[in-house]
Structure 1
Amino acid sequence: MDTTARRRKIQKTIAHPENDLYNHDVNMYSERPQTVINLEEFEELALERLQLLRIIEQASLKGFKQYSEDWKKTIKEDLAKSGLKKYIRLINGYCTQTEQDIQARRADHYSHFILRLAYCRSEDLRRWFINREMEWFKLRFISQSQEGIMKFLQQNNLTYAPISNELKDELKCELVVSTSGITEVSFEGTDFYKVPFGEVVPLVKGRKVFIQKGYAFIPTADLVVCVLSKFRAQLSESLNIYNHRLPSIDDDRVNSLLNDLHNTYTGKEYVAKGDKDRLDPAHLDAYSKKHFPLCMRNNHEVLRSTHHLKHFSRLQYGLFLKGIGLLYEDAMEFWREEFTKIMDGDKFDKQYTYNIRYNYGKAGKQVDFSPYSCTKIIMNNVGPGEHHGCPFRHWDLPILKQKMGEYGVSSEGIDSVLDLAKAGHYQIACGKYFEYTHNQPPSMTINHPNQYFEESMNLAKEKSSKKT
């Protein structure tokens, strides 16, 4: 199965007789899905779930404090831009019972279990999946009303009952002083729960809770800590079980999807649409300086200075150019003009024209190949004398620092980008580079070189229209 191909949006819903399984926005995923779905639906749900979890991860990497209003806002905005509005329904806290709500919860349920199959395969994958799923769980839980939380606890047989008013009044002084976020005013309207202190270790560690005789007294808002602890333990155990059962999956199509899922690109595909989006090759030098991401600007400048690029650099850069509108005929002329500055035309025709025709689906498998995503570029190996790959991952830091300085990035900006690159946040680093070279951040985390180009071009058009 080609999981990088452009995905078709599924219009039909998944048939499900057990609607009572989907009457709450928060799910402990204690029961496996029982209804059969087809392979197309399986793939679609998997990729949507992966995109959801990546959006949650990137919201934190952008610098927003987890679970803050800004953090929630950017997640909702990115979900909307990515066409994942059904997941927004689950973090609004309404818990309504419309058909759209039911379908959103079904998709959430199925996709969670599909990703269990993909992420049970190694310790690193399990760790990443558990952390993202806990964030997704907590985001929905803290959005619930008091009534919604009580309904969730009841449905999942979680026996947390508020302490009596008598005990609450008796401990009022201690609870107000020791409980984070509780004041004299809010105390009366807040229920407290008596739980073993071992269930709320993070609160104990942060000195945010009153403890007496081995029990912690927590407000409703902190019940999520107890529930998260149970959710994590249950999910971790389940992933270990799934890992042992993986050999029983004998469908090569499913295995191919699951094996490659973590490195699959989940964003927009960038394919030029004929003459309408035609790029004039004469504009490439100017565009490279103003609108190309660092990886593609470097490829362009190396090509102009040496009149040659090695195979993988040509592949990466050639598909990028195709995606921004360089038509086949123009591409052939562009590469020929550059390469024949150091070789004769016969050599170019014999050794290089096939690759160009291949990229445009005119030779070999005759596939209309899409440009490489950031994930694919980052995962590439880059050898000596090669210029493809991601600068934020593959370049030595002194070289990266020097290049950014040459391109006008401030000292403050260089330090900020280098810190992100050192920490392994390569796409966030690219977004910061965009911010410092455009004086404003991109609308979304950079996941694709062609996305970078598109955002830069749109920004230039907006500025131009404001001037007129």
Structure 2
Amino acid sequence: MDTTARRRRAHTVVVSPHSELYNHDVTFYKVFPLETINLTEFEELAIDRVHMLRILEQATLKGFKMLSDEWKHCVREDLVKNNLKKYVRLMNGINGQSELDIQARRADHISHYILKLAYCRSEDLRRWFLTRELEWFRTKFSAQNSQAILKFLNNNNLNYTPISLQEKSELQEELTVSTIGMSAEGVTTSDFYKVPFLEVLPLVSNRKVYLKDGYAYVPMKDLVVCLLSKFRSALSESLNSFYHKLPLIDDDRLGDLLCNLHLSYTGKSYTLGANKEGVNPADLDHYARTHYPLCMKHLHEALRANHHLKHNGRLIYGLFLKAIGLSYELFLEFWREEFTRIMDNDKFNKSYLYNFNHQWGKVGRMVDYSPYNCMKIIMGNVGPGESHGCPFKHFEASLLKSKLVEYGLSADAVNEIMSLSTGGHYQLACTKYFEHTHAGAQPSNTINHPNQYFDDSMKLAKPKVN
């Protein structure tokens, strides 16, 4: 299912009669949603949550410390920019009971279950989903006040209650000395919870809390450590259970969406180029040197060197060229001129013309195909003799390093990009490549599409009007 060019539809949202499910911004998602929703809303909820989780990931990858003011500002800004205000509402810790509040929590609850179906399918997907969901839980919980935390604990039958003022006064000195990062004044103003020490072993092992009679005295700010442990355990078990139930889903519509959800693109849609003036094929060599992402630069260089690309390379590079503004006529002229350097015109017409017409929706199913986004390129397979793929993932480390040096990057820049690449942060590596090849200028967002890279680069090259 192609979700890259989806349009938002207005839904008439009927709040579930089981609205007690949605009475708090923070939840362990223990109760399976009981509502019936249509396929369109199912897809939209799923895509929105994937987008939200990616925004959390990108804020951390940008170098902001999680839950710092800078991190929260970055997340909120990106959520608002991408029309995901319902998740901003849940970050604010209001726990309101208006219709918008309940709808936001409803979307959060249902979409969590949808993504469990999609991300239970492999160990890598489960690991990514679990990490992001723990981040989202921490984000919401960090915004809660004392009253909201007590309500959450009561909702989940957790027998954690703040110690009395008298007990805290009696233990004032011990709590001050034994609680890391807590002053005497902080002890006085903060709530402390008496928790079985086995439930907060990370705090105990790091000597961050006071222990007495088998209990740890945990300040409110650290209570999330215990809750995260419970949430992680429950979610891991649930993902395993969902995996074994997958064969029971006998619906091709859901199957296609769930199988491809991790590859779904959540950014700007690119079809025909927005360049009103169009692109001249004579400029492509210059564009490749200065404005192409590394993946498209490699495809262009391979095409110029070999006068040919295999099927996937032709498809990926062809759709990229179409989206940057190369007209249909010039598109065919460009490919014909290159291929006929090693074959005659009849061979080109017989073996390749249909393929290029197909990319434009002129033949076959007449589909206006969208260019490949980063995730789709990253997750694709690259066989022998093929030139497509993400260089930050698919290149051997030695080849990637030599290419970066060849393109004039400094030793420090090469090392920074290589570190991100070997760490599996391919899109962030591409973002750093953009910065180091554009005099430190940053793209509009973390690179998630080759055409985004091209557009951002072209904007920087335009003369500024005073």
Give the structure 2 partner of residue 11 of structure 1.
10
**How many angstroms apart in 1 are the aligned matches of 2:445 and 2:132?**
19
CA-CA distance at 1:159 after TM superposition: 2.3
Name the residue aligned to 1:443: 444
Aligned to 1:300: 300
1:15–1:35 Cα contact (<8 Å) kept: no
Q: What is the match of residue 381 of structure 1?
A: 381
Q: Equivalent residue for 2:346? A: 346
* Residues 91-145 of structure 1: CA deviation (Å, up to 9, x unaligned): 1222223322222111111100111111223333322222211110110000112
What is the aligned partner in structure 2 of residue 425 from structure 1? 425
Cα distance, 1:348 vs structure 2: 1.8
Partners of 2:205 and 2:6 lie apart in 1 by 46
Q: How does 1:113-132 map to 2 (within 5 A)?
A: 113-132=113-132
Quote the residue 2:262 is aligned against.
262
Deviation at 1:14, TM superposition (A): 2.8
* SS of the residue 1:326 aligns to: coil
Check conservation: 1:78, 1:444, Cα contact below 8 A. no
Q: Partner letter of residue 6 of structure 2?
A: R
Q: Tell me how far apart the structure 2 counterparts of residues 330 and 92 of structure 1 sit (CA, whole Å).
A: 52
Q: What is the CA–CA distance in structure 1 between the aligned matches of 2:266 and 2:281, rounded to whole Å?
A: 29
CA contact (8 A) 1:274 1:327 kept: no
Give aligned-pair identity as a percent.
58
Structure 1: which 4+ aligned runs deviate by more than 4 Å? none
Residue deviations 1:248-294, cap 9 Å, x none? 22112112211222233232221126883632323222221221100
Which residue in 2 is equivalent to 1:459? 460
Paired amino acid for 1:367: V
- Aligned-residue CA RMSD in angstroms? 1.9
The SS at the match of 1:453 is helix
8 Å Cα contact 1:291/1:456 also seen in 2: yes
**Given that residues 359 and 368 in structure 1 are in contact (C-alpha distance below 8 angstroms), is that contact kept between their aligned partners in structure 2?**
yes
Query: For each residue in 1:25-84, what CA deviation from the matched residue of structure 2 results, as whole angstroms up to 9, or x when unmatched?
Result: 212212221110011111111111111112222222222222222222222222223221
| Alpha-carbon distance in structure 2 between the residues aligned to 1:329 and 1:161 | 72
Distance 1:189 1:345 in 2: 82
TM-score (norm 2): 0.94
Task: State yes or no: 1:140 paired with 2:140.
Answer: yes
Instruction: Give the letter for the 1:10 counterpart.
Output: R
The answer to whether residue 356 in structure 2 is matched with residue 359 in structure 1 is no
What is the letter of the counterpart of residue 39 of structure 1? L
**Is 1:179 aligned to 2:179, yes or no?**
yes
Counterpart in 1 of 2:59?
59
Give the C-alpha shift of residue 4 in structure 1.
Answer: 3.8
Q: Secondary structure at the match of 2:217?
A: strand
Cα deviation 1:133-192 (Å, max 9, x = unaligned) = 111011000011222222222233222111122221121111112212311222211111
Q: TM-score, normalised by structure 1?
A: 0.94
> Is there any run of 5+ residues in structure 1 with no aligned partner, and where?
none
**Alignment coverage as a number of residue pairs:** 464
Letter in 2 for 1:356: F
1:91-110 to structure 2, matched below 5 A, reads 91-110=91-110
Counterpart-to-counterpart distance in 2, 1:440 and 1:211: 51
Please show how residues 162-173 of structure 1 align to structure 2 within 5 Å.
Answer: 162-173=162-173
User: Does the CA-based 8 Å contact 1:192-1:217 persist in structure 2?
Assistant: yes
Partner Cα separation in structure 1 for residue 170 and residue 359 of structure 2: 75
CA distances 1:282-334 after superposition (whole Å, capped 9, x unpaired): 32222212211001111112222332222221111111111111121110111
* 8 A contact 2:4–2:266 mirrored in 1: no
For 1:125, the aligned partner's letter is: L
- Does the Cα contact within 8 Å between 2:46 and 2:115 map onto a contact in 1? yes
Supply the distance in 1 between the matched residues of 2:207 and 2:365 (Cα, whole angstroms). Answer: 63
**Secondary structure of 2:267's match?**
coil
Q: Write the distance in 1 (CA, Å) between the matches of 2:420 and 2:259.
A: 28
Greater mean deviation of Cα atoms: 188-197 or 338-347: 338-347
Of 92-101 and 249-258, the range deviating more from structure 2: 92-101
Amino acid at match of 2:14: A
Secondary structure of 1:193 counterpart? strand
2:206 matches 1:206: yes
Which runs of 5 or more structure 2 residues have no equivalent in the other structure? none
CA distance in 1, matches of 2:109, 2:190: 32
Question: Could you tell me which amino acid in structure 2 is paired with residue 321 of structure 1?
Answer: L
SS in 1 for 2:158: coil
Query: 2-side partners of 1:254 and 1:446: how far apart?
Result: 29
